[in-house]
Amino acid sequence: MSEHAAILFANEAFYRAFADRDLKAMEELWSKEAPVTCLHPGWGVLSGRREVLESWKRILENESAPVISCRRPQVFIHGEVAMVICYEEIEGQFLVATNLFRHEGRQWRLIHHQAGPTAVRVVEEEPQPEPTRPN
């Protein structure tokens, strides 16, 4: 599997954990070695693994939390760190999100998630060509 595909897989696993309300899967996705941060829409900055995972626990246990789908993910690789920028569809509305991953061992793990409002309305999926790494 290419690094690009591995990062997309990790990003999809994040949204799958959200959709399935799977706290254990969510916990496995976040870095265990690096500092982590999260900015949910309308929230303040969350810093540290404990605080970030507590926020996800509250969200995933909330039965009225909306279903979120990832649309048009774009991968940017910077050595041992990768960024996925995508749109999140929530009940017909869209947010733009940035997910940062760090290569830990054999996996890409989340170190930062941020989502916020956007005026862009995603109409259809567009295939993304696999980028090459800069030399």
pLDDT band at 100 (very low <50, low <70, confident <90, very high): very high
Residue 47 included in any domain: yes
Q: What is the mean pLDDT of the chain?
A: 89
User: Is there a domain that residue 54 lies in?
Assistant: yes
Q: Is the pLDDT of residue 124 over 90?
A: no
Has residue 52 got a pLDDT over 90? yes
The type of residue at 50 is R
Q: What CATH number is associated with residue 102?
A: 3.10.450.50
With respect to residue 84, please indicate whether it lies within any of the assigned structural domains: yes
For residue range 60-99, list pLDDT tens digits in order. 999 888 889 999 999 999 999 999 999 999 888 899 999 9
Residue 130 lies in a domain: no
pTM of the model: 0.86
Q: Is residue 46 part of a domain?
A: yes
**How many structural domains comprise the chain?**
1
Segments forming the whole domain that contains residue 107: 3-117
